[in-house]
Amino acid sequence: MSENAMENVEEFNPQAFAGNLSNQAAEIIPPEINEEDKEFIRMVIHKFCFLAGDAIIKDENINFNAAQASLVAQFIGEWTFHKSIDLARAGIDINLREGILQKIAFTIFEIAKQAIMKNLPQDQLIPLVEHHVDKSFKAALEDLKKRNVISEEAMQNAEAQSNVDNMVAAEEHPVISQMSDTKLLKLASVALLLKKVNENKKEIILSKFNDADAQVLNDYLKMEDLEGKVDVNITSKCISEVKAILPEPKVITGARYIRKLHKLMPSANIAFVKSMLETERPLVKQLIKSASKNEEVEISSGIAGALYNYIQQRAI
């Protein structure tokens, strides 16, 4: 694996991504799904997303960057969500569901991995993944039927479910009414940021959102006194949540390394850091003190990065 590819994929945090995606999924689980099924859905999305992301990072034969790694994990998370709901609505025993979903997740992982390696365009990748998800779902159900674990009726009932179709149908109605309050707040927060950038950059950013989200963002951008309609504390929290799932920039400045070091400090070995403050050179001492106070520092990325990596590897 090339050094650049390794740096890129290491920007992807599978634990954070899995946690964020499972939390987002929890917000849009249909209200008729009971609490036990909801908890299972959150758990299984987190588990499979994390396992997929972790496998990509650790496999030296997969030269993915952070965006490609997150795409595979997102495919797995989204389809795990839809098929979990299909299984719950069909009344398939909860103890059988993880095995079915695991087969689907493995299929997505292999199909998406190979497609990305072959540079397949995303507009071709999406239907390809969907085709194999349906095929794997039916095969898993038919296997259970052949082993008399589920009935013919239960199999057909599960195959007839389609949460994807239900969600698409719902989007034909006014978009905002179908979104959760949490998502709307996040989009409003993004809109507040977009109001501060030039038109060219704004259009580029809007093009990254799906049509429904972009429509809501445009509505917010046209709204008079949006700043006065959204609580500043809620906006700050939403923006922090959005930033938490974004990969680090490819070029990390010295100041950003100091901020990363500040976040690292609470989990660092106090005795180790204290010994550094007593024995290290004045520059290192000052950098550690600045990081502990989260102070802005003008420092080269090389020096700050070396200090961050040194403490991360030895003090945690």
pLDDT digits (tens, 9 = 90+) for 13-68: 889 889 988 988 888 888 888 999 999 999 999 999 999 999 988 888 888 888 88
Nearest 5°: the CA angle 10, 15, 16 is 90
Nearest 5°: the CA angle 257, 259, 261 is 70
Of 38-47, 76-85, 238-247, 275-284, the range with the lowest mean pLDDT is 238-247
| The two structure tokens encoding residue 117 | 């390696």
Q: Where are the domains of the chain?
A: 3-170, 177-244, 254-315
Say which amino acid occupies 31.
Answer: P
The average pLDDT across 76-82 equals: 92
What is the C-alpha separation between 52 and 9, in angstroms, rounded? Answer: 13
Instruction: Give pLDDT, residue 39.
Output: 94
131 CB-near residues (< 8 Å, 6+ apart): none
- Whether the per-residue pLDDT at 231 is higher than 80: the answer is no
pLDDT tier at 5 (50, 70, 90 boundaries)? Answer: very low
Count the neighbouring beta carbons within 10 Å of the beta carbon of residue 228.
Answer: 8
pLDDT tier at 257 (50, 70, 90 boundaries)? Answer: confident
Beta carbons of 185 and 234 less than 8 angstroms apart: yes
Nearest of 180, 181, 194, 189 to residue 237 by alpha carbon: 189
More confident site: 18 or 298: 18
- Whether the per-residue pLDDT at 260 is higher than 60: the answer is yes
Cα 116 versus chain centre, distance: 18
The reported pTM is 0.53
Of 31-40, 213-222, 266-275, the range with the lowest mean pLDDT is 266-275
Instruction: Give pLDDT, residue 235.
Output: 60
pLDDT digits (tens, 9 = 90+) for 144-174: 999 999 999 999 989 888 776 655 544 443 4
What is the C-alpha separation between 38 and 84, in angstroms, rounded? Answer: 9
